[in-house]
Amino acid sequence: MTNGGKIRIGMPVVEMGQGIYTSLAMCALEELEMDIDQVEHIETILHPNFKNPILSKFTDEKLQVQGTGASTSLKAWGTYFQNVGATAREMLLTAASQHWKIERKHIYVNGISVVNTYNNREISYGMLCDQASKLDVPKIVKTKNSNFKLIGKPIKRWDTKIKINGKAIYGADVRVPGMLYGTVVNPPVLGSKIINVDEKQAKKLSGFISVIPLERQVIVIAKSTWIAMEAANLLEFETEEGLSDLDDQIIEKKLEEDSLKPGITSDGFIGKIEKKMKDSSKILSQTYSMGMQAHAALETLTATASVSEFSCEFWGPVQFQDNPLYAAMQITGLPANKIKVNTTYLGGSFGRKGEIDMVIPPILASKVIGKPVQITWSREAEMATGYLLPPSLNKLSVALSADGMPTALKVKVTSPSASKKFADALGYYFPPWISEDGYDWAAMEGMPQQPSPLTDSTIHNYNIPNIKVEYVPSEIPINFAFWRGIGASANLFSIESMIDEIAYYSKSDSIDFRIKLLRHSPRAINVLQKSRELSNWRKVSPSHYQGVAYGNYLNTIQAHIFEISIDLKNEISIHRITCVLDCGFVNNPNIVKQQVHSGIIWGLTAATKSEINIKDGKIIQNNYDNYKMIRLKDTPRIDFHLINNNEISGGIGEVGTPLVGPAIANAVFAATGKRVRRLPIRKEDLI
């Protein structure tokens, strides 16, 4: 708090469009009776006490990392920031009590000042700051649990104004005196090792400085980003060891072969699955798949570093603050206390800026050149490196009772692990996230009977008495990464498509069938019934068709109903999306709505527009012209209904995405009688 009574906040998490700066600030301000406009400055800071507590607890304290992801930020830090605000309040009250020489019970805070109830005199927070800062910090403070002023209200985003007026600093906005600029070039064939770089043509450009060749990448340094990128286009490579034979068909074949191997479980079974499958008179078996996807955030990878003999300073839009710290320690040999990390705003990330590859080039270049260096990746360079959503192949078998209800579910998920590289880099595993036997929680999210970092919320899953879920990690030589929704997008696509197929086989309405499987969960039933009501289920115009998907993901219960039509050219038009969501207690309903809307749009791109393909060892898609994104004109009407209650809060940042694929696929079946069993949906799937 400043002497002017304004608030400045150091955050343990990053702001990448999800509104977490606002949400956590609200928690602190609530205890001081202050408003969001009284916040003067917010920034993310690297601090040893800012390790994500939820991820630490989830991994039995093995994973100690400061970072933003897995929809854990508010759950991890909301109570902490309420305590911060309450601590500041108590110190201000103590300072005022000493100033007026009266008992604490005769004073209170009003958001601007401390008020003396004897005479109604006030002394501002700012005037009390210096005196309060000299007091001992109280160890125990009382925080609110009801009668909130800010929490639970649709408070406007704090960061909107500075993003509009240009004061928000992103990666490319950083300027350091004497700074040089650069970019990176990657060999087009995945897995290639660079053995020679010809820079003769690049040297002809005015402003070109040098290249720094690495084993699998070249850093280009120049006097401007434009010149660096122009020079990069003029470089010629000689390479070896590339995966020139790799293509989509080889990847699909590898997944199929691996799916025949024994799977790994993480307590992912209940009941007597093999006996039930053997005794059942009817078994339905299907295979579902999802292709690779890029992150393609609007802001490409950009970071800056300044390295000297005695210190290193880094600036960049990173999801994990420990990444530049650890990279700088290894590259420079400096201790942690000589390295400063500055986190800028992130212009989107979706998992991509959690990778360490973006922080290495500027630190390394600055050390070699001896000046500050800013490295900006081109879209083409970023997409050529991979770091993709892993492809998946899910095989499901369901045993049915005589009345068509599922009595047993057997699942095998085959997919590369996006987590193993972190265990390899750290030198240890951190189960149940990533285990020595290969189990990867991130690949299995969305499947029943799996561990979850937020809470054990299986009560809102389908009541299938016998379940066995297995995972086979497939070794495919591409860089894979976490992607918004991680494994849940593929897993809920397969589960919700299969549930719809069973409902059809059982001659049941899709919503009624799900309600039967969720009779034990009043919250789930409420979500489904509300979605039926709001979507005008089965009462739309004759040329329109609907599909439903339900999910309990990250302790958030939701249903999506998509209303579509399909023309004679097999073009799908999405007219309306109804989303009903119960995430428990809500911090800020506006931010929940924004996040779910954005997650749905993200899912629309992956389900209907985009896919990464490999041919001759090269990633074909390299920019927005051939990696198609949903545009404003393509965005359908989204009717969002939030069910607010006092239940344990769930995650929000990723939950809007995974139900999009199955809801569209189930609507396609209603329209055509054709089952879609792979994402993204292709025209040929509708014939």
- Helices 488-505 and 660-672, interaxial angle, to 10°? 30
pLDDT attached to residue 384:
92
Domains for the chain: give ranges and CATH numbers.
7-164 (3.30.365.10), 171-241+301-376 (3.30.365.10), 259-293+388-686 (3.30.365.10)
- Tell me what the mean pLDDT of segment 477-484 comes to: 96
Predicted structure pTM score: 0.96
Q: Is the pLDDT of residue 457 over 70?
A: no
Work out the mean pLDDT of the chain and round it to a whole number. Answer: 96
Strands 339-343 and 572-582: unpaired
Per cent of the chain over pLDDT 90 is 97
Strand runs (DSSP E) across 416-485, as ranges?
A: 466-473
Q: Is the pLDDT of residue 428 over 90?
A: yes
Q: Is the pLDDT of residue 592 over 70?
A: yes
What tens digit of pLDDT does each residue of 50-103 get?
999 999 999 999 999 999 999 999 999 999 999 999 999 999 999 999 999 999
- Tell me what the mean pLDDT of segment 112-138 comes to: 96
- Please compute Rg for the chain using Cα positions: 27
Q: Is the pLDDT of residue 456 over 70?
A: no
- Tell me what the mean pLDDT of segment 135-142 comes to: 96
What tens digit of pLDDT does each residue of 261-317 get?
999 998 767 899 999 999 998 999 999 999 999 999 999 999 999 999 999 999 999
- Tell me what the mean pLDDT of segment 205-213 comes to: 98
Residue with token string 């570093």: 305
- Tell me what the mean pLDDT of segment 465-481 comes to: 96
Q: How far apart are CA 13 and CA 56, in angstroms?
A: 15
pLDDT attached to residue 453:
86
Q: How far apart are CA 387 and CA 292, in angstroms?
A: 10
Q: What angle do CA 266, 429, 289 make, to 5 degrees?
A: 50
Q: Is the pLDDT of residue 454 over 90?
A: no
Report residue 340: phi and psi, to 5°.
Answer: -115, 130
pLDDT attached to residue 450:
87
**Cβ–Cβ < 8 Å for 609, 548:** no
Cβ neighbors of 65 (< 8 A, separation 6 or more) are 51, 52, 55, 320, 322
What tens digit of pLDDT does each residue of 492-504 get?
999 999 999 999 9
pLDDT attached to residue 268:
67
Q: Is the pLDDT of residue 160 over 80?
A: yes
Q: Is the pLDDT of residue 573 over 80?
A: yes
Cβ neighbors of 631 (< 8 A, separation 6 or more) are none
Per DSSP, the three-state class of 115 is strand
Cβ neighbors of 591 (< 8 A, separation 6 or more) are 18, 19, 22, 23, 157, 652
What tens digit of pLDDT does each residue of 521-567 get?
999 999 999 999 999 999 999 999 999 999 999 999 999 999 999 99
Structural tokens at position 548: 């439903």
Structural tokens at position 24: 């956590």
By CB neighbour count within 10 A (0-12 exposed, 13-18 middle, 19+ buried), where does 656 fall?
buried
Strand ordering across the sheet containing 312-316 = 7-11, 39-45, 339-343, 312-316, 302-307, 373-376, 180-185, 218-222, 208-213
User: How far is the first Cα of the chain from the last one, in angstroms, to the nearest whole number?
Assistant: 64
